[in-house]
A and B are shown apart, each in its own frame.
Chain A
Amino acid sequence: MATVKYDESTRIYPGNDAPSVDRLNIDIADGEFLVLVGPSGSGKSTALRMLAGLEEVNGGKIWIGDRDVTNLSPKDRDVAMVFQNYALYPHMSVADNMGFALKIAGVDKGEIRKRVEEAAKILDLEPYLERKPKALSGGQRQRVAMGRAIVRSPQVFLMDEPLSNLDAKLRVQTRTQIASLQRRLGVTTVYVTHDQVEAMTMGDRIAVLKDGILQQVATPREMYDSPANVFVAGFIGSPAMNLVSVPVTDGGVKFGSHTLPVSRDALAGGGSNVIVGVRPEDVEVTSGEGLELTVDVVEELGADAYVYGTPTDENIRLEGGDDALAKPFIARVDGRRVPMKGDKVFVQPNADHMHVFNADSGARLSG
C-alpha cells in the first residue's frame, strides 16, 4: 500500500500546443479512493495512464510511496489497471479465473494459491473455488471478476470508467460493490469517470479536471458546499446549480428586485457583475421579492417537486447553458405547494447557502 503524488505532472502530446495534463498536483493518501472526474477531453484518462506508465510524462514527477516512478515501465510500478471487461472463462475453475493474471506475471503456484484464497475469503467465494463459473450466481460471477484484480495485490488500483458499458441497474450495484470492497481492502485507488454522480458516491475525495487543468480537489461534501469556481459549481450536483450573472450594488448584489446582502470584502476584486450560484434545494419561493420566473415545467417527485422556469426579464440568462438552448432556473419546492405551469413565481437564494463567483475568472468570491 502506498501514497500517490502527482507533482507538477505534465503531458503534452506531440503536435499539440496545449498540454493535455497541465502541471497536475494531487497528494493521494495511503488507502484513499480518489476519483478523477471531468468532461471528455479534460485529461482525466491521460492522468491515469501517466500514473500507470502507459503515457510519457513530459514535465514534473509522479511518486508512488517514496519511489519516483516517473520513468519506470508499467510492470515495475506495482499498479493494477482494472479492465472494463470481465469475461469469465468457462473451462477454468473459479480459482484459476481469479489467478490467471498472476500466472501471466510469472508468480509461482504456491503464492498464486495463497493470494487466491485470501481474495476468496474477502469476496465470500471460498466454498466455490473449485467450481466452474457456470455454477455461480450473477453476483458471485461479478465478484470473481473483481478477484482477478485483487489477487494482484498491487500498491495502487487504477480504474478507467470500469462501469461505462454496464446497464443502469448493474452500474449502481457494481458501484456499491467496488466502493465497499476498496474500503475493506484499503488499497489506494484512482478511479476515472465522466459521471459526477459516480464520483460523488464513490470517492473519498474528488479531483475535477477541465482542459487538462485541475479545478479543485476536495471531499464530495466540500465540493458540493463550496465549489472553487463556476465550472465545478455547474458540474457537481444534479440537477445542476443555478448560476446567474447579476450586477453588484451598494451592500450586496441585485437579484431581480431584491438586494442580497454580500459583504464588501467578499466582493473585493469582483468587478461590476458577479455570478450568483444557488442549488435548487436552496431556492426560496417568496411572495413578490427576488427574481421573477415563468414556470415551464413541474416535475413531481412526491414529497417535493422540481420547478423549471425562465426569468421573465429576458436580459437575464443562466450560465452553463449552450447557445441554442437557454438553461432553465430550477427550484425544489414543497410537494404540497406546487405552482402550475405558466404561473409567475418569485425566487431568491437562501442567504446561508448561496455562492458568489467572479464573473470574469469564474473563481469563488464568497466564503
Chain B
Amino acid sequence: MPLEITTARPDPALLDLPWSTPLEDWPDQYLAALPRGISRHVVRFVKLSGRVLAVKEIKEDLARREYDMLRDLRRLHEPAVEPFGVVSGRVGADGEPLDACLITRHLKFSLPYRALFSQGLRPGTETRLIDALAVLLVRLHLAGFWWGDVSLSNTLFRRDAGSFAAYLVDAETGELFPSLTNGQRAHDLDIARVNIAGELMDLQAGDLLDPEIDPVVISNRIVTRYDALWAELTATEEFDTGERWRVEERIRRLNAVGFDVDELAISTDIDGTRISIQPKVVDAGHHSRRLLRLTGLDVGEGQARRLLNDLDNYRAASDRQNDDEEIVAHEWLTRIYEPITRRVPRELSGKLEPAELFHEVLEHRWYMAEREQNDVPIERAIEDYVASILPTKPDEAAVVGVDTIEMPVIAERP
C-alpha cells in the first residue's frame, strides 16, 4: 500500500521519517525529546526542518476526523494546536499495516500542566491554570464546539503576562454544532470538573502539588469561573431608557475581560421605557487585536494588555497624548520594545517569549524601584534582569518532555 500524506504544508522532509516503524520504536535520532503525558495513544515529538512536530498514532478515520476538526477550530480562530498532516497507508517491515499518524505542530513556548507543576510553582498557579481553561472553554462553547474530554492534559498553557492562555490540544472527542444547548455545556463542565480533580489528585500522589491544596475545591473553580464569564458574555441586561450609559458600561466590561462586541441586540418594551441589551456576537482578543493593529505585534491577550499599558505610560511620559496613536505606537516599538527584547543574548533566547520577557522586565523594574525607593529606567532593569534572573529560568521554547508516564489503553492480543 502506498504511503499517503495529507498536509497543508508540504515538506519533503516528512518522507524521511521512519513511517514503516511503529511509532513506539522510532529511533532517538528523530525525536525532539522523550515522549510523555497521559495519553491513550502513542505520541512522539520529532524534529523536522527546524520545527518540532507532535506525532500521534491512531486509526486513520479518527486521525482524519481530528485533523479536520482542528482545521475547523483554527478557521474559527479558536485557540487550538495547528494540524500539520495525516500520514496513512503505513506498512511495517513485516508487511503488516500500521495505524495512521496525526501530525500537529508543537505550539512554541507552550507548557503542559505537568511541566509547570514539576518546576515548583508560585502559589496560586493552579488557580490561574483553571482560569485560563475556563476562558478557553467559554470561547469554544461560544463557537458551538462540544469538547467531550475537557482536562488539563488535553490543554497546553502559554505564559501570558503573569497568568496563562490555554490552547486545545486534543479534539478527538469533540463535535461542532451550530450552537450548544445548556445541557451540552453543563455536560462538558461536569467532565472538566471530574477530570481536573483527578489530575490534581494524581499530582499530589506524585508529590508535585502541595498536599494542603484541595483538588475538589480547585476543580469546582472551573464551574464558577466559567459561569461568571458566560453570564458576562451572554446575559440579557435590562434598564430604564434614562440609563443609556449602561450600554457603554456593558461594552467596557466585556473589553475588560478581553472581548470585543461585534453585535449587540438592543430592544425596548412596548411603551419604550425599558431597554434590554444582549451581546449576540463577541470576539475574544480585544487587547491583542488592538496591539496588533497598532504595532504589528502578535502576542497573548494578557501580554497585549500589559504592553498597551506601557504604551499608554510612554505616551503620557513623553507628553504625546495629542499625537496620532499609531505614530506614537511605532515610536514606542522602535525605541522601547524592540531594543529591550533584543538585549537578550542568543543563548538565553529559548527561555521566554519576547512579549513575556518584556512583561517580566516591567515587573522586575517595579521590584527594583520599590527596593531603591526610586524610579528605575527600563534599560537598567533589563540589564539587571538578564544578568540575575533570566539565566535561572528553565528553557521553555520547546518543552515537550515531562516526568510522567505514557499509558495507552490498547486492545489485548487474543
Closest approach, in angstroms, between the C-beta of B145 and any C-beta of chain A?
15
Query: What 1/0 mask marks residues of chain A from 25 to 51 whose CB sits below 8 Å from any chain B CB?
Result: 000000000000000000000100110
- A91 to B118: give the CA distance in the assembly, Å: 13
B156 contacts the other chain (CB 8 A): no
Chain B minimum-CB-distance residue to A92: B205
Interface 9-mer from A77-85, A119-127, A333-341, A343-351 = A77-85
Contact residue among A46, A92, A100, A139 (Cβ-Cβ distance under 8 Å from B412): A139
Instruction: Count residues on chain A whose CB falls below 8 Å from chain B CBs.
Output: 41
A176 to chain B, nearest CB (A): 12
- Which residues of chain B come closer than 8 Å to A165, judged between CB atoms? 62, 172-173
Given known A49-B187, A85-B195, A168-B59, contact A138–B201 (CB-CB < 8 A): no
A104 to B201, CA, bound (A): 10
Q: How far is the CA of A80 from the CA of B33 in the complex (A)?
A: 39
What residues of A have a CB within 8 angstroms of the CB of B407 in the complex?
A: 88, 90, 133-134, 141
Q: Give A89 to B151 CA distance when docked, in angstroms.
A: 12
Which residues 193-236 in B have Cβ within 8 Å of A in the complex? 193-195, 197-199, 201-203, 205-206, 216, 219
Residue B76 at the chain A interface, CB threshold 8 Å: no
Given A49-B183, A54-B187, A103-B201, the answer on whether A167 and B99 have CB atoms closer than 8 Å is: yes
CB distance from B179 to the nearest CB of A (A): 9
Contact indicator per residue, chain B 45-58, by CB within 8 Å of chain A (1) or not (0):
00000000000001
Contact A170 B201 (CB under 8 A): no
| Inter-subunit contact A137/B198 (CB<8 Å) | no
Smallest beta-carbon distance A162→chain B, Å: 10
Measured CA separation A145–B151 after assembly (Å): 16
A93: chain B residues within 8 A (beta carbon): 205
Looking at A86, A87, A137, A167, which has the most chain B CB atoms within 10 Å of its CB? A87
The verdict on B255 contacting chain A, using a C-beta distance below 8 Å, is no
| Distance in angstroms between the alpha carbons of A122 and B203 in the assembled complex | 29
Please determine whether B202 and A92 come into contact, CB atoms closer than 8 angstroms. Answer: yes
Q: Is B59 in contact with A89, judged by CB distance below 8 angstroms?
A: no
Contact of A164 with B by CB under 8 A = yes
- Let me know if B183 and A85 touch, CB within 8 A: no
Could you tell me which residues of chain B, from 174 to 200, have a CB within 8 Å of some CB in chain A? 181-184, 186-187, 190-191, 193-195, 197-199
In the bound assembly, the distance between CA atoms of A133 and B151 in angstroms comes to: 19
| B residues in contact with A137, CB < 8 Å | 412
Check A89/B410 contact, CB under 8 A, given A49-B187, A54-B186, A56-B182: no
**Contact in complex: B205, A55 (CB < 8 Å):** no
A104 to B389, CA, bound (A): 40
Query: Do A85 and B191 touch (CB < 8 A)?
Result: yes
Tell me the B141-180 residues at the A interface (CB within 8 Å). 148-149, 151, 153, 172-173
- Let me know if B317 is at the binding interface, CB within 8 A: no
User: In the bound complex, how far is the Cα of B183 from the Cα of A46, in angstroms?
Assistant: 8
Compute how far the CA of A53 lies from the CA of B197 in the bound complex, rounded to whole angstroms: 22
Please encode chain A, from 54 to 85, with 1 for each CB lying within 8 Å of some chain B CB and 0 for all others: 11100000000000000000100000010111
On chain A, the residues within 8 Å of B362 by CB distance are none
Whether B40 and A87, one on each chain, are in contact in the complex, defined by CB atoms closer than 8 angstroms, is yes
B404 at the interface (CB under 8 A from A): yes
**Residue of B at shortest CB range from A170?**
B411
Beyond A89-B198, A96-B205, whether A46 also contacts B404 by CB under 8 A is: no
A173 to B414, CA, bound (A): 10
B58 touches A91 (CB 8 A): no
B173 touches which of A13, A84, A104 (Cβ 8 Å): A84
Contact indicator A86/B409 (Cβ below 8 Å): yes
Chain B residues with CB under 8 A of A173 = 411-412
Asked whether, in the complex, the Cβ of B149 is within 8 Å of the Cβ of A84, the reply is yes
Nearest opposing residue in chain A for B187, CB measure: A54
Shortest CB distance A55–B (Å): 3
B99 close to A90 (CB less than 8 A): no
Which B residues lie within 8 Å of A54 (CB)? 182-184, 186-187, 190
Residues from chain B with Cβ under 8 Å of A85 in the complex: 148-149, 151, 173, 191, 195
Q: Tell me, in angstroms, the Cα distance from A89 to B40 when the chains sit together.
A: 12
Question: CB-defined interface of A94-127 with B at 8 Å, one 1/0 digit per residue?
Answer: 0010001101100000000000000000000000
Q: Which of the listed residues B99, B187, B191, B404 has the most CB atoms from chain A within 10 Å of its own CB?
A: B187
Residues of B within 8 A of A168 (CB): 59
Chain B's closest residue to A171 (CB) is B411
Q: Which residues of A contact B203 (CB under 8 A)?
A: 91
Identify which of B40, B99, B182, B197 contacts A104 (C-beta below 8 A).
B197
A101, B194: Cβ atoms under 8 Å? yes
Residue from A49, A91, A169 in contact with B205 in the complex, judged by beta carbons closer than 8 Å? A91
Q: Are the C-beta atoms of B197 and A100 separated by less than 8 Å?
A: yes
Q: Write out the residue numbers on chain A whose beta carbons fall within 8 Å of the beta carbon of B149.
A: 83-85
With a cutoff of 8 Å between Cβ atoms, the chain B residues found around residue A169 in the complex are 411
The listed residue (A83, A90, A104) touching B405 by CB distance below 8 A is A90
Tell me, yes or no, whether B116 is within 8 Å of chain A by CB.
no
Complex Cα gap A312–B58 (Å): 44
Q: 8 closest Cβ contacts across the A-B interface? A: A55-B183, A91-B206, A89-B202, A167-B59, A90-B405, A91-B205, A138-B410, A54-B183
A interface residues with partner B (beta carbon < 8 Å): 13, 46, 49-50, 52, 54-56, 74, 81, 83-93, 96, 100-101, 103-104, 133-134, 137-139, 141-142, 145, 164-165, 167-170, 173
- Interface on B for A, CB 8 Å cutoff? 38, 40, 58-59, 62, 99, 148-149, 151, 153, 172-173, 181-184, 186-187, 190-191, 193-195, 197-199, 201-203, 205-206, 216, 219, 404-405, 407-412
Q: Can you list 24 A-B pairs with a CB-CB distance of less than 8 A? A: A46-B181, A54-B184, A83-B149, A83-B191, A85-B151, A86-B409, A87-B38, A87-B40, A87-B153, A89-B199, A90-B206, A96-B201, A96-B205, A100-B198, A101-B198, A103-B197, A134-B407, A138-B410, A138-B412, A139-B412, A165-B173, A167-B62, A167-B99, A170-B409
Give 8 A-B pairs besides A86-B40, A89-B202, A92-B202 with Cβ atoms closer than 8 angstroms: A49-B186, A54-B183, A74-B190, A81-B190, A84-B173, A87-B40, A92-B201, A170-B410
